[in-house]
Structure 1
């Protein structure tokens, strides 16, 4: 997750509507990170953004609409995974990025609050799924490039390799509530890279 996002919406590029949209959605992300989902209010967002609360209510409807729109807005933020030319190392860097996103302030507060919001709201959950699908698609390029290099079979399910690499991080953070160590990250990356290289994560494995 990140609060450094891209301006979208509006009747014309750089117009007042676009500026108001950027101000409101940025304020939503900032307030979400600082106060959490249950502490987020339209009034706080309106005050922080400088946009009248009646306008905020009219356009986004309430807290769930604001958070959903802010997550969608965040997908336009420029991000690419680190490429090292080696699948294991690429996946390790990816796992490290995920872990840092939930442990390094101030981004960690926003990331954790977004998960909490998705648990509480079906509307936000749908927006978070879209956000994560975007991030997985971007991360999958490291697997696709590994296939070109011959490290993994051509029919490797790139998205599944990404899931295998980062799933242990999310499990420790949000289920078992354990610390995520450097050894945990190396193990997760190695497991995913080895499984992929052995052909265990190909597209046909999902239907067999």
Structure 2
């Protein structure tokens, strides 16, 4: 992570420092969701969190530092994918989770604004990459389960399977700006699961010989 800010609770768990850190980073995400990256300021965050402006500047240095630390903080929150016992269904669940994250209030505003901020700030972009890597690593457990069940080859790249399942969703959400239907989610999951079963995400002959 580009920010050297310690995550909430890493210093004096339950103490004033941890509470203030959590308040500031939560306020950062709330302000981002309500007003967008362009209107995000350290002053707004300080007012909303109840933490003195001088403290906010001293610890995080400004908007990009605040948002980077807030994204890092988000990786400490508990989340794991639903596991149904079938890769196809699990990948559908992941794709559906992505859609909900960008369409359901109140999370949708923060999610969309974080992506927009990453286009404007290299520091935030680096932090978002770390956040997404964390989510991919957690989601990859569904592919590990599929390997254990023999649904896909043992050397399948779990992260690439996850990316293949959710990439069409991100395309519709952020590039073509089309509605994402249940049929779209099922198609993406089916294609990723079928390709994984055929060895498309391995380093073996099946992947190296495909057109």
Q: TM-score range by the shorter chain?
A: over 0.9
List 4+ stretches of structure 1 deviating above 4 A. none
Q: Is the 8 A contact 1:10 1:17 kept in 2?
A: no
How has the CA–CA distance of structure 1 residues 15 and 194 changed in structure 2, closer, same or farther, with 3 Å as cutoff? same
Distance 2:192 2:160 in 1: 9
Partner of 1:142: 142
Partner of 1:186: 186
Distance 2:67 2:184 in 1: 32
- Counting matched residue pairs gives 201
The runs of 5 or more residues in structure 2 that have no matched partner are: 1-6
- Determine helix, strand or coil for the equivalent of 1:170: helix
Alignment of structure 1 residues 64-75 onto 2, 5 Å: 64-75=64-75
Distance 1:91 1:153 in 2: 17
The runs of 5 or more residues in structure 1 that have no matched partner are: 1-6
Partner of 1:124: 124
Alignment of structure 1 residues 156-195 onto 2, 5 Å: 156-195=156-195
- Determine helix, strand or coil for the equivalent of 2:80: coil
Partner of 1:197: 197
Distance 2:65 2:91 in 1: 34
Deviations 1:24-80 (A, max 9, x none): 001001111111111111111000000011110111000000000000000000000
- Determine helix, strand or coil for the equivalent of 2:114: helix
Distance 2:87 2:10 in 1: 41
Per-residue deviation, 1:204: 4.6
Distance 2:41 2:204 in 1: 46
User: What RMSD, in angstroms, separates the aligned Cα atoms of the two structures?
Assistant: 1.3
Partner of 1:4: none
Distance 2:117 2:203 in 1: 32
Q: Is the 8 A contact 1:155 1:203 kept in 2?
A: yes
- Determine helix, strand or coil for the equivalent of 1:169: helix
How has the CA–CA distance of structure 1 residues 195 and 68 changed in structure 2, closer, same or farther, with 3 Å as cutoff? same
Partner of 1:29: 29
